């Protein structure tokens, strides 16, 4: 149960006709570092033309570029980050973040950690975890480059987050996932249903731990760059049925979450999730979960 | 902080919030100090590391120093780009000098927007009348290092 034909047929059953996607390069302005600076004008002066991404407040497509967007002085000073457009969505779905205690459960390489710090205006605290130590160097470089000052990085498996003995107001769970073909040319050759089921199991374990570390009324943003419902809607259906969580409405780019998956009916609230099929962006899935106080 | 003094800075960091981990130094704040575990990998603002007895400042620290009184030079666009690429600075690329002009002193290098690009050592005269094609400031560390680390 693998191969392009197998997956394309699955997507058809889910209501999407396969189309070779060409995700566009995108950047995100670090607002905290650009106060009083006209970053668009500065980049234009060095040959980078930007185009506002309609569904993101601080996101821009790189329309044309005479230089590498990842090697400008403006980038190295931390005025902006290179961040795929769909990947900019999860962090903006949280309610107020200023002064909060936030867990970034699977943080490396740190694009979303820096975005959270920016949205928090460097207030409060972010505890960023990653299970792979070699990925922490990239995360740390990203934090240093963007002058983030409110983050603590720990080498820890998100499934052991309760060892921190902290309760969090907000948890970003950008879960390890199977990815999607738009971000990986060999995706169809490398992936099978077995991988997807293994990842779905891991994601449930991380979700369970995240819920245990979350304060009452706290929020989890769950996201993946997988198109497979087992890692997305099916997991969210499981979460509302087995954990003390419910799904909140979100107002963002994407289509409604699927509530009918390969013949199975899911909880109606799963419709509140957002699914982004590949196109100008890579494929993505987001869901906002809130912890119930009394259940 | 000896390094800050070398740059003519009088910055004062609260020693209660400066934490060392495996030769790397971090500046935390009241909130972070309460939350940080003893085995953290990175926390707060990274200040730099000590290797073989020598201090290597972070770009966070240089940017903090650049906000206050310190030895600084402001360089024009092309010189700024070359500096980020690891090159030294010639007198002709310097737009302004603040603080020490003494040979051998350390100096922060700022672009025309006042953003810190790194620091260097004064090698020759920073005087406008001096030879314009002589190396005035030798590059010690620049933000292009972020790219070199990834390579």
Complete domains list, chain B, with CATH: 2-64 (no CATH), 71-150 (2.30.130.10)
Report the alpha-carbon distance of residue A278 to residue A82 in Å, rounded.
Answer: 18
Q: Does residue B113 belong to the interface with chain A, where contact is any CB pair within 8 Å? A: yes
Mean pLDDT, rounded, for B80-107:
95
Q: How far is A106 from chain B (nearest CA, A)?
A: 15
Q: What is the pLDDT of residue B54?
A: 93
Mean pLDDT, rounded, for B67-89:
97
Whole-model pTM? 0.96
Cα–chain-centroid distance for residue A101? 18
pLDDT digits (tens, 9 = 90+) for B122-146: 998 787 666 667 899 999 999 999 9
Q: How far is B4 from chain A (nearest CA, A)?
A: 18
Give B31's contacts in chain A (Cβ within 8 Å): 124-125, 150
Q: What is the pLDDT of residue B130?
A: 63
The CA-based dihedral angle spanning residues B27, B30, B36, B38, taken in that order and rounded to the nearest 10 degrees: 70
Q: What is the pLDDT of residue A53?
A: 98
Q: What is the pLDDT of residue B128?
A: 67
Report the alpha-carbon distance of residue A107 to residue A113 in Å, rounded.
Answer: 6
Report the alpha-carbon distance of residue B76 to residue B45 in Å, rounded.
Answer: 29
pLDDT digits (tens, 9 = 90+) for A209-244: 999 999 999 999 999 999 999 999 999 999 999 999
Q: Does residue A77 belong to the interface with chain B, where contact is any CB pair within 8 Å? A: yes
Q: What is the pLDDT of residue A90?
A: 98
Pairing of strands A214-224, A168-174: parallel
Examine the predicted complex and report whether its ipTM is higher than 0.90: yes
Complete domains list, chain A, with CATH: 24-83 (3.30.70.1170), 84-291 (3.40.50.150)
Closest in B41, B58, B80 to A144, CB measured: B58
Q: Is the pLDDT of residue B63 over 70?
A: yes
**Which are the contacts of A145, defined by CB distance < 8 A and separation ≥ 6?**
A76, A77, A78, B59, B143, B146
How open is the CA angle A117-A292-B34, to the nearest 5 degrees?
Answer: 40
Q: What is the pLDDT of residue B48?
A: 97
Report the alpha-carbon distance of residue A117 to residue A98 in Å, rounded.
Answer: 9
pLDDT digits (tens, 9 = 90+) for B26-58: 999 999 999 999 999 999 999 999 999 999 999
- Give the residues of chain A that fall short of pLDDT 70: 294-295
Q: Which of A106, A177, A213, A225 is catalytic?
A: A225
**Which are the contacts of B149, defined by CB distance < 8 A and separation ≥ 6?**
A137, A141
- Has A225 been annotated as catalytic? yes
Q: Does residue A122 belong to the interface with chain B, where contact is any CB pair within 8 Å? A: no
Closest in B42, B60, B113 to A153, CB measured: B42
Mutate to test the interface with B, among A136, A149, A161, A166 (most CBs of B within 10 A): A149
């Amino acid at each position: 149960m693998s191969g392009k034909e197998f997956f394309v047929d699955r997507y058809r059953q889910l209501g999407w006709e396969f189309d070779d996607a060409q995700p566009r390069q995108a950047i995100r302005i670090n607002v905290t570092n650009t106060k009083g600076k006209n970053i668009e004008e500065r980049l234009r002066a060095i040959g980078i033309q930007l185009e506002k991404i309609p569904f993101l407040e601080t996101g821009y497509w790189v329309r044309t570029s005479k230089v590498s967007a990842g090697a400008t002085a403006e980038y190295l000073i931390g005025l902006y980050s290179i961040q795929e457009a769909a990947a900019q969505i999860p962090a903006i779905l949280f309610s107020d973040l200023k002064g909060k205690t936030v867990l970034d459960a699977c943080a490396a390489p740190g694009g979303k950690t820096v975005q959270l710090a920016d949205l928090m205006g460097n207030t409060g605290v972010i505890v960023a975890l990653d299970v792979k130590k070699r990925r922490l160097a990239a995360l740390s470089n990203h934090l240093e480059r963007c002058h983030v000052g409110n983050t603590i990085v720990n080498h820890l498996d998100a499934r052991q987050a309760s060892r921190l003995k902290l309760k969090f107001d907000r948890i970003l769970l950008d879960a390890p996932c199977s990815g999607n073909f738009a971000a990986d040319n060999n995706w169809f050759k490398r992936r099978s249903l077995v991988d997807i089921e293994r990842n779905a199991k891991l994601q449930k374990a991380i979700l369970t731990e995240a819920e245990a570390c979350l304060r009452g009324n706290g929020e989890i943003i769950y996201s993946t760059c997988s198109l497979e419902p087992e890692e997305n809607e099916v997991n969210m259906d499981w979460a509302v049925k087995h954990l003390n969580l419910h799904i909140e409405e979100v107002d963002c780019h994407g289509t409604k979450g699927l509530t009918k998956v390969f013949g199975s009916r899911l909880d109606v609230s799963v419709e509140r999730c957002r699914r982004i099929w590949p196109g100008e962006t890579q494929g993505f899935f987001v869901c906002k979960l809130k912890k119930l106080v009394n259940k | 902080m000896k390094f800050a003094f070398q740059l003519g800075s009088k910055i004062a960091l609260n020693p209660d919030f400066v934490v060392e981990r495996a030769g790397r130094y971090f500046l935390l704040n009241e909130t972070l100090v309460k939350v940080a575990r003893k085995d953290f990998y990175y926390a707060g603002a990274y200040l730099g590391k000590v290797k073989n007895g020598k201090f290597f400042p972070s770009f966070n620290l240089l940017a903090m120093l650049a906000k206050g009184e310190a030895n600084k030079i402001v360089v024009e666009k092309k010189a700024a780009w070359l500096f980020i690429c690891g090159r030294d600075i010639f007198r002709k690329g310097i737009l302004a000098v603040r603080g020490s002009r003494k040979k051998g002193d350390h100096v922060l290098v700022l672009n025309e927007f006042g953003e810190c690009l790194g620091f260097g050592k004064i090698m020759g005269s920073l005087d406008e009348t001096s030879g314009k094609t002589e190396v005035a400031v030798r590059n010690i560390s620049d933000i292009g290092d972020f790219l070199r680390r990834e390579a």
